[in-house]
């Protein structure tokens, strides 16, 4: 029985280039490179990485907090400016009413006819009510209505049979609403049934 003995094949030049001999300078470079990777892997300390991540997160949180603080200051300033602009618009609407009141007061000093003065004042009051309606303020009139504590403030009760008990007998002061919200309730006198004697 004969054994087949295969002779070792000679390495091709490319194989020899990929696998340097142990004693050559290329082998020393490859070994040094592998060692550098091991040193780099060992140098990646988990604690140092965690501390670096904490530092990055802290910096990001500080920037976010500063951005939020700036946003809050800007929002406050914008709200304040909007309030000032709103008050300015209301003042512009009301100034003509005030001008007419001043004219009426000047006219009253030399007026001989009271009726004309009263008519002038009533016109100014109408202008005022119209101006309030223009800026969204509604004047409430409670006369003859049933007493409603959500819009009326009772200051007195009056025995009378002129209106039904529990109704508004007199309105002492008008109430006002703005945008559906009560600004000031009507001050009223509420009727109650007369006592039988």
What is the pLDDT confidence band of residue 16, given thresholds at 50, 70 and 90?
very low
Q: Are residues 45 and 122 in the same domain?
A: yes
- The CATH number covering residue 197 comes to 2.30.22.10
Q: Taking 90 as the threshold, does the pLDDT of residue 59 lie above it?
A: yes
Q: Are residues 155 and 92 in the same domain?
A: no
Write the pLDDT tens digit of every residue in 180-192. Answer: 899 999 999 999 9
Write the pLDDT tens digit of every residue in 80-127. Answer: 999 999 889 888 988 998 898 888 888 888 777 888 888 888 899 899
- Residue at 79 is within a domain: yes
pTM for the model: 0.55
**Domain enclosing residue 192, as ranges:** 137-197
Q: Are residues 95 and 146 in the same domain?
A: no
Q: Are residues 72 and 147 in the same domain?
A: no
Give percent of the chain with pLDDT exceeding 70.
78
What is the pLDDT confidence band of residue 161, given thresholds at 50, 70 and 90?
confident
Q: Are residues 101 and 147 in the same domain?
A: no
Which residue pairs from 161-169 have beta carbons closer than 8 angstroms and sit at least 24 positions apart in sequence?
Answer: 161/193, 161/194, 162/191, 163/191, 164/191, 165/191, 165/192, 165/193, 166/190, 166/191, 166/192, 167/191, 168/142, 168/143, 168/144
Domain count, the chain: 2
């Amino acid at each position: 029985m004969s054994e087949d003995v295969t002779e070792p094949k000679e390495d091709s030049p490319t194989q020899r280039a990929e696998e340097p001999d142990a004693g050559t300078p290329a082998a020393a470079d490859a070994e040094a490179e592998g060692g550098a990777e091991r040193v780099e892997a060992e140098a990646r300390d988990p604690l140092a990485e965690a501390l670096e991540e904490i530092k990055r997160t802290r910096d990001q949180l500080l920037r976010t907090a500063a951005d939020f603080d700036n946003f809050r200051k800007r929002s406050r300033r914008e709200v304040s400016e909007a309030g000032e602009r709103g008050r300015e618009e209301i003042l512009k609407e009301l100034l003509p009413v005030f001008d007419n009141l001043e004219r009426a007061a000047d006219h009253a000093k030399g007026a001989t006819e009271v009726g004309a003065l009263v008519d002038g004042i009533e016109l100014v009051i109408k202008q005022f009510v119209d101006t309030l309606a223009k800026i969204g303020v509604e004047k409430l009139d409670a006369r003859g209505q049933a007493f409603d504590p959500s819009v009326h403030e009772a200051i007195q009760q009056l025995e009378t049979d002129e209106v039904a008990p529990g109704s508004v007998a007199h309105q002492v002061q008008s109430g006002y609403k703005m945008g559906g919200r009560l600004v000031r309730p009507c001050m009223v006198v509420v009727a109650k049934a007369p006592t039988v004697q």
